[in-house]
Amino acid sequence: MESVARSQSATGPGSPASTARPLIYRQSRWTRLTHWLWAISLFFMLLSGLQIFNARPQLYIGKQSGFGYNNTIFEIGAENTSAGTRGYTEIFGHRFDTTGALGWSGPAGNETARGFPSWATIPSYYDLGTARVIHFFFAWILTTTLIVWFVASLVNGHIRRDLAPRLDDLKRLPQDIIDHAKLKFHHTREYNTLQKMAYGGVLFVLLPLMIITGLAMSPSMNSVLPFLNDLLGGRQTARTIHFTVMLLLVGFFIIHILMILAAGPINELRSIITGWYRTDPPAHDDKTPERSA
C-alpha cells in the first residue's frame, strides 16, 4: 500500500515527478494463483502427454485408427536406410528427416526409436503407465483451476474489465500489431488487443477444447456424453485435435515468454507474483515518450 500512496502522490499532473512510472496493483490474487497452477500443470501435462503420444506416435482422422486403410495424417517413426537408422516425421504424406529429435534420438551410439526425445518426456524412459498417472493428476488440477479462475474472474470483474473485447480493441489492432513487431511495449493497466486475443484464446478456446477432447477420448465419458465424439468427428479426430491444441499452447508459451523478456521480465514477473506492476508515465500531451523493451 505504501508504494501505491507514493506513486499516486508522484503522478499528479504538473508535478515535477510526472515522468515517474507509477506502480499499480494489476493482478488479483486469483489471477496470480491460477496462473502458476496452470504453469505447473501445463508443464507436467505437456511432458507426460508427449510420453503418452510416444506409445502410438501417429494421428488419425475419424472414429478409429486405420490399419486396413489409411487415415493417418501425422506420424513419427524410425526406418532403416543405407545411411543407418533414421528418424522421420511425416505430415500429410510429406516426410522429413528428423533424426536426433523425432523418431530416432538419444546419446550418440545409444539412440533408440522413440517419437519425442527423452528430454521432452516424463519419465525420460518409455513408461506409458506412469505418464498417464501424471497426466490425469494434473488434468484434475488444470480443470479445477480453470473453473476456480472463471468463477473468481466473473465475480471480481477481471473478465469484464480486462478480457472482454471492445470496439476500441478492433480499432487499436493495426497499431498494436505494428508496436509488437517493433518490440515497442506500452505498460498500462489494461491489456492491449493482442494480449486480450492471446489470453482470451487460451482461456476460453484452447484450454476448454483441450479438456473436451481429453474427455472425448475416455471410453467411460463416451457413455455419459455420446454426442461429444460425433461433434468432434470421432475419437481419433478428437485425439488429433488434442495434439494440435497442444502445439498451439506450446506456441503460446514461447511467444508469452519472448514477450515477457522483451517487455521487461522483472516488471512482468513482479506483477504475476505480487500483483504490482510499474506502468508508463501518464501522458499529458500527444508526445508520449517512446519506450522499447
Partner 1 sequence: MAKFEISRRRFLTAASLGASGIMLSGCDAFDSQLSIGSGLRSFLENANGLTYRAQRLLAGRDALAPEFTEADIRQPQRPNGVTSPDDDDYKALLANNFADWRLEVSGLVEKPLSLSREQLMNMPSRTQITRHDCVEGWSCIAKWTGTPLSLLLDQAVVKPQARYVMFHCLDTIDRSLSGDVKYYGTIDLIDARHPQTILAYGLNGKPLPVENGAPLRVRVERQLGYKMPKYLYKIELVDGFADVGGGRGGYWEDNGYDWYGGI
Residue 220 interacts with partner 1 (CB under 8 A): yes or no: yes
The contact mask relative to partner 1 for 137-176 (x = CB under 8 A, - = no) is x-xx------------------------------------
In the set 17, 154, 164, 293, which binds partner 1 (CB under 8 A)?
293
Neighbouring CB atoms inside 10 A of 225's CB total 14
Contacts of 221 (CB under 8 A, 6+ apart): 215, 228
Beta carbon of residue 282, minimum distance to partner 1 (angstroms, whole number)? 22
Q: Hey, is 75 helix, strand or coil? A: strand
In the set 1, 13, 69, 285, which binds partner 1 (CB under 8 A)?
69
Number of residues that bind partner 1 (CB under 8 A): 56
Beta carbon of residue 184, minimum distance to partner 1 (angstroms, whole number)? 8
In the set 4, 15, 56, 81, which binds partner 1 (CB under 8 A)?
56
- Rounded Cα distance between 94 and 87, Å, is 14
- Rounded Cα distance between 62 and 199, Å, is 30
- Rounded Cα distance between 239 and 88, Å, is 21
In the set 151, 258, 269, 273, which binds partner 1 (CB under 8 A)?
258
Residue 182 interacts with partner 1 (CB under 8 A): yes or no: yes
Residue 19 interacts with partner 1 (CB under 8 A): yes or no: no
Buried b (16+ CB within 10 A) or exposed e, 241-257: bbeebbeebeebeeebe
- Rounded Cα distance between 28 and 30, Å, is 5
Q: Give me the residues paired with residue 277 across strands.
A: 24
> Using CB under 8 A as the criterion, which residues of the chain lie in contact with partner 1 when the complex forms?
47, 52-53, 55-56, 58, 60, 63-69, 118-125, 127-130, 132-134, 136-137, 139-140, 182-183, 217-224, 226, 229, 235-236, 239, 254, 257-258, 261-262, 265, 292-293
